[in-house]
Amino acid sequence: MLKYTVRRLIQGIPTFFGITVLSYMLMLAAPGNPIELLTFDPNISVEAREKLAIQAGLNDPWPLQYLTWLIGNDWRPVDMNANGVLEEGEYGVRQGILRGDFGRSFFYKRAAITVIGDRIPATLELGVAALITSLVLGIPIGVIAAIRRGGIFDNFSRVMAVVFNAVPSFWLGIMMILFFGSILGLLPMNGRCGTVLVGGCPPLYARLEYLIMPTFVLAAGGIAGYSRYMRTSMLETISRDYIRTAHAKGLPGRTVWFKHAARNAMIPIATFLGPALTGLWGGAVITERVFGWPGVGRLAVEAVTQRDYPVVMAIVILGAVSTIIGYIVSDILYALIDPRIRFS
Protein backbone atom coordinates (compact mmCIF):
# COMPACT_ATOMS: atom_id res chain seq x y z
CA MET A 1 0.00 0.00 0.00
CA LEU A 2 2.90 2.31 0.83
CA LYS A 3 4.40 1.68 -2.61
CA TYR A 4 1.03 2.41 -4.18
CA THR A 5 0.63 5.65 -2.24
CA VAL A 6 4.14 6.84 -3.09
CA ARG A 7 3.57 6.02 -6.76
CA ARG A 8 0.30 7.93 -6.79
CA LEU A 9 1.95 10.88 -5.09
CA ILE A 10 4.73 10.93 -7.70
CA GLN A 11 2.08 10.77 -10.42
CA GLY A 12 0.50 13.80 -8.79
CA ILE A 13 3.60 15.98 -9.35
CA PRO A 14 3.07 16.69 -13.08
CA THR A 15 -0.63 17.28 -12.36
CA PHE A 16 0.37 19.79 -9.71
CA PHE A 17 2.71 21.67 -12.05
CA GLY A 18 0.13 21.59 -14.82
CA ILE A 19 -2.40 23.16 -12.49
CA THR A 20 0.01 25.89 -11.36
CA VAL A 21 1.07 26.86 -14.91
CA LEU A 22 -2.52 27.01 -16.12
CA SER A 23 -3.75 28.89 -13.08
CA TYR A 24 -0.89 31.37 -13.27
CA MET A 25 -1.55 32.08 -16.93
CA LEU A 26 -5.28 32.43 -16.41
CA MET A 27 -4.79 34.70 -13.42
CA LEU A 28 -2.47 37.04 -15.29
CA ALA A 29 -4.72 36.97 -18.35
CA ALA A 30 -7.61 38.33 -16.30
CA PRO A 31 -7.97 42.08 -16.85
CA GLY A 32 -6.72 44.51 -14.24
CA ASN A 33 -3.83 44.19 -11.87
CA PRO A 34 -3.41 44.68 -8.13
CA ILE A 35 -1.41 47.90 -8.38
CA GLU A 36 -4.07 49.49 -10.61
CA LEU A 37 -6.66 48.66 -7.96
CA LEU A 38 -4.59 49.60 -4.93
CA THR A 39 -3.64 52.94 -6.44
CA PHE A 40 -6.92 53.91 -8.10
CA ASP A 41 -6.48 57.31 -6.54
CA PRO A 42 -5.86 60.54 -8.44
CA ASN A 43 -3.44 61.67 -5.71
CA ILE A 44 -1.03 58.89 -6.56
CA SER A 45 1.23 59.89 -9.40
CA VAL A 46 1.83 57.78 -12.48
CA GLU A 47 5.49 57.43 -11.48
CA ALA A 48 4.60 56.16 -8.01
CA ARG A 49 2.29 53.57 -9.52
CA GLU A 50 4.89 52.50 -12.03
CA LYS A 51 7.42 52.10 -9.25
CA LEU A 52 5.10 49.85 -7.24
CA ALA A 53 4.43 47.75 -10.35
CA ILE A 54 8.17 47.31 -10.96
CA GLN A 55 8.80 46.40 -7.32
CA ALA A 56 6.02 43.84 -7.47
CA GLY A 57 7.52 42.39 -10.65
CA LEU A 58 4.29 42.95 -12.55
CA ASN A 59 6.05 44.48 -15.53
CA ASP A 60 8.04 41.29 -16.16
CA PRO A 61 6.86 38.88 -18.89
CA TRP A 62 4.62 36.16 -17.52
CA PRO A 63 7.10 33.26 -17.84
CA LEU A 64 9.56 35.25 -15.72
CA GLN A 65 6.84 36.08 -13.20
CA TYR A 66 5.93 32.38 -13.02
CA LEU A 67 9.57 31.41 -12.65
CA THR A 68 10.00 33.96 -9.85
CA TRP A 69 6.93 32.59 -8.15
CA LEU A 70 8.29 29.04 -8.53
CA ILE A 71 11.99 29.37 -7.74
CA GLY A 72 12.34 32.94 -6.51
CA ASN A 73 14.48 35.82 -7.74
CA ASP A 74 17.25 35.94 -5.15
CA TRP A 75 19.62 34.45 -7.72
CA ARG A 76 19.30 37.30 -10.23
CA PRO A 77 19.76 41.07 -10.10
CA VAL A 78 16.46 42.90 -9.58
CA ASP A 79 15.78 46.64 -9.45
CA MET A 80 14.29 46.44 -5.97
CA ASN A 81 14.04 50.19 -5.34
CA ALA A 82 12.67 50.70 -8.86
CA ASN A 83 15.01 53.60 -9.64
CA GLY A 84 15.72 52.25 -13.11
CA VAL A 85 19.30 51.31 -12.22
CA LEU A 86 20.56 47.87 -11.24
CA GLU A 87 22.93 48.62 -8.39
CA GLU A 88 25.65 46.22 -7.36
CA GLY A 89 24.41 43.52 -5.07
CA GLU A 90 20.81 44.47 -5.74
CA TYR A 91 19.24 41.01 -5.88
CA GLY A 92 15.69 39.88 -5.43
CA VAL A 93 14.43 38.68 -2.07
CA ARG A 94 11.89 36.09 -3.16
CA GLN A 95 12.69 32.42 -2.69
CA GLY A 96 9.85 30.84 -4.61
CA ILE A 97 7.27 28.26 -3.59
CA LEU A 98 9.67 25.36 -4.05
CA ARG A 99 11.58 26.80 -1.11
CA GLY A 100 8.42 27.54 0.84
CA ASP A 101 8.06 31.23 -0.09
CA PHE A 102 4.58 31.81 -1.44
CA GLY A 103 5.19 35.52 -1.99
CA ARG A 104 3.80 38.54 -0.25
CA SER A 105 0.20 39.59 -0.42
CA PHE A 106 -0.18 42.89 -2.29
CA PHE A 107 -3.15 43.84 -0.21
CA TYR A 108 -2.31 42.44 3.23
CA LYS A 109 1.35 43.41 2.94
CA ARG A 110 2.59 40.23 4.57
CA ALA A 111 3.48 36.69 3.50
CA ALA A 112 0.62 35.09 1.57
CA ILE A 113 1.12 31.88 3.53
CA THR A 114 0.69 33.78 6.83
CA VAL A 115 -2.50 35.39 5.57
CA ILE A 116 -3.88 32.00 4.57
CA GLY A 117 -2.53 30.32 7.70
CA ASP A 118 -4.56 32.76 9.79
CA ARG A 119 -7.70 31.61 8.04
CA ILE A 120 -7.21 27.85 7.74
CA PRO A 121 -8.36 26.91 11.28
CA ALA A 122 -11.71 28.62 10.73
CA THR A 123 -12.28 26.91 7.39
CA LEU A 124 -11.24 23.50 8.73
CA GLU A 125 -13.52 23.95 11.72
CA LEU A 126 -16.49 24.72 9.51
CA GLY A 127 -15.55 22.19 6.83
CA VAL A 128 -15.12 19.26 9.20
CA ALA A 129 -18.32 20.14 11.05
CA ALA A 130 -20.21 20.29 7.76
CA LEU A 131 -18.73 17.04 6.47
CA ILE A 132 -19.57 15.19 9.68
CA THR A 133 -23.08 16.67 9.69
CA SER A 134 -23.74 15.73 6.09
CA LEU A 135 -22.50 12.16 6.64
CA VAL A 136 -24.21 11.66 9.98
CA LEU A 137 -27.52 12.92 8.65
CA GLY A 138 -27.24 11.97 4.97
CA ILE A 139 -26.30 8.29 5.34
CA PRO A 140 -29.05 7.23 7.81
CA ILE A 141 -31.65 9.19 5.82
CA GLY A 142 -30.57 7.33 2.67
CA VAL A 143 -30.65 3.94 4.42
CA ILE A 144 -34.08 4.52 5.93
CA ALA A 145 -35.43 5.89 2.66
CA ALA A 146 -34.26 2.74 0.88
CA ILE A 147 -35.74 0.44 3.50
CA ARG A 148 -39.04 2.34 3.41
CA ARG A 149 -38.95 2.67 -0.32
CA GLY A 150 -42.07 4.42 -1.68
CA GLY A 151 -43.21 5.36 1.83
CA ILE A 152 -43.86 8.80 3.28
CA PHE A 153 -40.32 9.13 4.64
CA ASP A 154 -38.81 8.19 1.29
CA ASN A 155 -40.91 10.71 -0.60
CA PHE A 156 -40.37 13.40 1.98
CA SER A 157 -36.59 12.90 1.96
CA ARG A 158 -36.62 12.96 -1.84
CA VAL A 159 -38.46 16.28 -1.91
CA MET A 160 -36.19 17.71 0.75
CA ALA A 161 -33.10 16.53 -1.17
CA VAL A 162 -34.29 18.38 -4.27
CA VAL A 163 -35.08 21.49 -2.23
CA PHE A 164 -31.71 21.54 -0.45
CA ASN A 165 -29.86 20.93 -3.69
CA ALA A 166 -31.77 23.62 -5.52
CA VAL A 167 -31.78 26.40 -2.93
CA PRO A 168 -28.75 28.68 -3.34
CA SER A 169 -26.69 28.66 -0.19
CA PHE A 170 -26.44 32.46 0.04
CA TRP A 171 -30.25 32.67 0.09
CA LEU A 172 -30.59 29.87 2.63
CA GLY A 173 -27.96 31.60 4.76
CA ILE A 174 -29.63 35.01 4.69
CA MET A 175 -33.04 33.46 5.46
CA MET A 176 -31.62 31.54 8.42
CA ILE A 177 -29.90 34.69 9.68
CA LEU A 178 -33.15 36.64 9.46
CA PHE A 179 -35.25 33.91 11.08
CA PHE A 180 -33.03 32.37 13.75
CA GLY A 181 -30.83 35.40 14.31
CA SER A 182 -32.91 38.49 13.83
CA ILE A 183 -36.51 37.42 14.45
CA LEU A 184 -36.07 34.70 17.07
CA GLY A 185 -32.77 35.97 18.42
CA LEU A 186 -31.68 32.38 19.05
CA LEU A 187 -28.38 32.23 17.19
CA PRO A 188 -25.58 34.73 16.49
CA MET A 189 -25.83 36.24 13.03
CA ASN A 190 -22.22 36.88 12.14
CA GLY A 191 -18.71 35.69 12.81
CA ARG A 192 -17.02 32.80 14.53
CA CYS A 193 -16.62 34.10 18.08
CA GLY A 194 -18.17 36.67 20.37
CA THR A 195 -17.20 40.33 20.22
CA VAL A 196 -14.85 40.93 23.12
CA LEU A 197 -12.32 43.67 23.71
CA VAL A 198 -9.41 41.35 24.42
CA GLY A 199 -8.97 37.67 25.17
CA GLY A 200 -9.15 36.15 21.70
CA CYS A 201 -11.49 33.51 20.42
CA PRO A 202 -12.64 31.03 23.11
CA PRO A 203 -12.30 27.26 22.49
CA LEU A 204 -14.81 25.65 20.13
CA TYR A 205 -17.01 24.11 22.84
CA ALA A 206 -17.65 27.56 24.29
CA ARG A 207 -18.96 29.00 21.03
CA LEU A 208 -20.81 26.15 19.33
CA GLU A 209 -23.79 28.43 18.69
CA TYR A 210 -21.72 30.31 16.08
CA LEU A 211 -21.14 27.07 14.19
CA ILE A 212 -24.76 25.92 13.88
CA MET A 213 -26.12 28.03 11.02
CA PRO A 214 -23.04 28.07 8.75
CA THR A 215 -22.55 24.32 9.28
CA PHE A 216 -26.11 23.58 8.31
CA VAL A 217 -25.95 25.79 5.20
CA LEU A 218 -22.63 24.28 4.11
CA ALA A 219 -23.86 20.75 4.85
CA ALA A 220 -27.29 21.15 3.24
CA GLY A 221 -26.11 20.10 -0.22
CA GLY A 222 -24.08 17.27 1.29
CA ILE A 223 -26.99 15.89 3.31
CA ALA A 224 -29.13 15.92 0.18
CA GLY A 225 -26.41 14.37 -1.96
CA TYR A 226 -25.28 11.65 0.46
CA SER A 227 -28.85 10.62 1.26
CA ARG A 228 -29.58 10.12 -2.44
CA TYR A 229 -26.34 8.25 -3.15
CA MET A 230 -26.88 6.11 -0.09
CA ARG A 231 -30.47 5.35 -1.02
CA THR A 232 -29.47 4.23 -4.53
CA SER A 233 -26.54 2.21 -3.29
CA MET A 234 -28.65 0.64 -0.55
CA LEU A 235 -31.41 -0.33 -2.98
CA GLU A 236 -28.86 -2.00 -5.18
CA THR A 237 -27.38 -3.89 -2.26
CA ILE A 238 -30.63 -5.12 -0.76
CA SER A 239 -31.57 -6.74 -4.02
CA ARG A 240 -28.44 -8.91 -3.82
CA ASP A 241 -28.65 -12.65 -3.15
CA TYR A 242 -26.68 -12.56 0.09
CA ILE A 243 -29.20 -10.19 1.61
CA ARG A 244 -32.02 -12.49 0.61
CA THR A 245 -29.98 -15.35 2.13
CA ALA A 246 -29.57 -13.41 5.34
CA HIS A 247 -33.32 -12.85 5.51
CA ALA A 248 -33.91 -16.51 4.70
CA LYS A 249 -31.57 -17.50 7.53
CA GLY A 250 -33.99 -15.75 9.83
CA LEU A 251 -31.74 -12.88 10.85
CA PRO A 252 -33.65 -9.95 12.34
CA GLY A 253 -34.42 -7.17 9.81
CA ARG A 254 -32.34 -4.56 11.66
CA THR A 255 -29.24 -6.77 11.58
CA VAL A 256 -29.69 -7.43 7.88
CA TRP A 257 -30.26 -3.80 6.95
CA PHE A 258 -27.56 -2.20 9.04
CA LYS A 259 -24.93 -4.93 9.48
CA HIS A 260 -25.00 -6.58 6.12
CA ALA A 261 -26.60 -4.17 3.65
CA ALA A 262 -25.62 -0.71 4.87
CA ARG A 263 -21.95 -1.56 5.33
CA ASN A 264 -21.65 -2.79 1.78
CA ALA A 265 -23.78 0.02 0.42
CA MET A 266 -21.37 2.53 1.95
CA ILE A 267 -18.50 1.47 -0.30
CA PRO A 268 -19.39 3.84 -3.16
CA ILE A 269 -19.73 6.64 -0.63
CA ALA A 270 -15.99 6.32 0.07
CA THR A 271 -15.26 7.47 -3.46
CA PHE A 272 -17.15 10.66 -2.77
CA LEU A 273 -15.19 11.40 0.37
CA GLY A 274 -11.99 12.48 -1.34
CA PRO A 275 -13.60 15.00 -3.68
CA ALA A 276 -15.78 16.09 -0.75
CA LEU A 277 -12.67 17.46 0.96
CA THR A 278 -12.12 19.78 -2.01
CA GLY A 279 -15.82 20.52 -2.23
CA LEU A 280 -15.72 21.90 1.27
CA TRP A 281 -13.22 24.60 0.23
CA GLY A 282 -15.41 25.44 -2.73
CA GLY A 283 -18.68 25.51 -0.86
CA ALA A 284 -17.18 27.53 1.95
CA VAL A 285 -16.63 30.48 -0.37
CA ILE A 286 -20.27 31.50 -0.29
CA THR A 287 -21.15 30.32 3.21
CA GLU A 288 -18.18 32.09 4.77
CA ARG A 289 -19.13 35.31 3.05
CA VAL A 290 -22.74 35.25 4.17
CA PHE A 291 -21.91 34.47 7.79
CA GLY A 292 -18.80 36.62 8.00
CA TRP A 293 -16.83 33.45 8.77
CA PRO A 294 -13.11 34.31 8.82
CA GLY A 295 -11.99 31.46 6.59
CA VAL A 296 -10.04 30.77 3.41
CA GLY A 297 -13.16 30.80 1.22
CA ARG A 298 -13.91 34.42 1.96
CA LEU A 299 -10.25 35.27 1.51
CA ALA A 300 -10.29 33.56 -1.90
CA VAL A 301 -13.13 35.74 -3.14
CA GLU A 302 -11.46 38.89 -1.85
CA ALA A 303 -8.08 37.91 -3.28
CA VAL A 304 -9.53 37.25 -6.73
CA THR A 305 -11.43 40.54 -6.71
CA GLN A 306 -8.33 42.42 -5.57
CA ARG A 307 -6.09 40.51 -8.01
CA ASP A 308 -3.90 39.59 -5.06
CA TYR A 309 -1.86 37.11 -7.14
CA PRO A 310 0.30 35.54 -4.40
CA VAL A 311 -2.76 34.83 -2.23
CA VAL A 312 -4.77 33.52 -5.19
CA MET A 313 -1.94 31.19 -6.17
CA ALA A 314 -1.41 29.98 -2.62
CA ILE A 315 -5.11 29.13 -2.40
CA VAL A 316 -4.92 27.41 -5.79
CA ILE A 317 -2.08 25.27 -4.45
CA LEU A 318 -4.05 24.49 -1.34
CA GLY A 319 -6.97 23.44 -3.52
CA ALA A 320 -4.77 21.49 -5.95
CA VAL A 321 -2.94 19.62 -3.22
CA SER A 322 -6.13 18.79 -1.34
CA THR A 323 -7.77 17.59 -4.56
CA ILE A 324 -4.85 15.39 -5.50
CA ILE A 325 -4.57 13.98 -1.97
CA GLY A 326 -8.35 13.70 -1.78
CA TYR A 327 -8.46 11.43 -4.80
CA ILE A 328 -5.56 9.33 -3.56
CA VAL A 329 -7.22 8.96 -0.14
CA SER A 330 -10.42 8.04 -1.89
CA ASP A 331 -8.73 5.30 -3.91
CA ILE A 332 -6.93 3.96 -0.85
CA LEU A 333 -10.14 3.95 1.16
CA TYR A 334 -11.89 2.13 -1.63
CA ALA A 335 -9.26 -0.55 -1.67
CA LEU A 336 -9.27 -0.83 2.10
CA ILE A 337 -13.04 -1.14 2.37
CA ASP A 338 -13.62 -3.43 -0.60
CA PRO A 339 -11.49 -6.57 -0.38
CA ARG A 340 -12.14 -7.27 -4.08
CA ILE A 341 -9.94 -4.31 -5.00
CA ARG A 342 -6.19 -4.73 -4.67
CA PHE A 343 -3.38 -2.15 -4.74
CA SER A 344 -1.50 -2.68 -7.96
Partner 1 sequence: MRKLSAIVLLVVAALVLSVLALPAAAQDEGGPGEGGIIIESNFGGDIATLNPIIISDASSSAVAGFLYPGIIGLDPETQNAAPNVAGALATGWEYDETGTVLTIYLRDDAFWNDGTPITAADYLYAAEAIKSGETDSARTYVFDSIESIEAPDDYTVVVTFKEFNCRSFNDVNDIPVVPAHIFSEVFETYADMNEDVDYNLNPTVTFGPFAFGEYRPAEQVSLVADQSYPDTILGYVSPAGWIYKNVADQTVEIELLLAGEINVVAGVTPERQQDMRDNADIQTFDYPANGYTYMGFNLADPTNPQDGLDEDGNPIDQGNHPLFGDVRVRQAIAMGVDVASMVDATLFGEGVQIATNAIPTSWAYDDSIEPWPFDPEAAAALLEEAGWIDEDGDGVRECRGCLYAEEGAPAEFELLTNAGNTTRERIGEIIQSQLADLGIKVNFNAIDFNILVQTLLGQEFDAIIIGWSLGLPDDPDGTAFYGPENDLVGSGFNFVSMNNEELNRLYNEAAHVPGCDQDARAELYIEANRLLRNELPYLYLYSANAQYAVRAEVEGFDPFPSFLYWNIDAWRVISAE
Binding site for partner 1 (CB under 8 A): 30-33, 36-52, 55-56, 80-83, 104, 107-111, 114-115, 118-119, 122, 174, 177-178, 181-182, 185, 188-193, 195-201, 288-292, 294-295, 298-299, 302, 305, 307
Nearer to partner 1, 135 or 316 (CB): 316
Nearer to partner 1, 166 or 196 (CB): 196
The secondary structure of 92-146 as a DSSP string is: -----GGGT---B-TTT-SBHHHHHHHHHHHHHHHHHHHHHHHHHHHHHHHHHHH
Contact 303, 115 (CB under 8 A): no
- Point out which residues pair with 91 in neighbouring strands: 77
Nearer to partner 1, 80 or 335 (CB): 80
- Rounded to the nearest whole angstrom, what is the least distance from the CB of residue 152 to partner 1 in the complex? 37
- Rounded to the nearest whole angstrom, what is the least distance from the CB of residue 320 to partner 1 in the complex? 23
Q: Is 287 left (phi over 0), alpha (psi -120 to 50) or beta?
A: alpha
- Rounded to the nearest whole angstrom, what is the least distance from the CB of residue 165 to partner 1 in the complex? 23
What phi, psi does 148 have (nearest 5°)? Answer: -95, 45
d(CA 300, CA 237): 41
Nearer to partner 1, 48 or 332 (CB): 48
- Rounded to the nearest whole angstrom, what is the least distance from the CB of residue 300 to partner 1 in the complex? 12
- Rounded to the nearest whole angstrom, what is the least distance from the CB of residue 116 to partner 1 in the complex? 10
Nearer to partner 1, 270 or 284 (CB): 284
Nearer to partner 1, 38 or 243 (CB): 38
Amino acid, res. 231: R
- Rounded to the nearest whole angstrom, what is the least distance from the CB of residue 190 to partner 1 in the complex? 5
Q: CA-based angle 148:249:143, to the nearest 5? A: 25
- Number of Cβ within 10 Å of residue 187's Cβ equals 16
d(CA 148, CA 84): 76
- Rounded to the nearest whole angstrom, what is the least distance from the CB of residue 280 to partner 1 in the complex? 18
3-state secondary structure of 77: strand
Nearer to partner 1, 91 or 272 (CB): 91
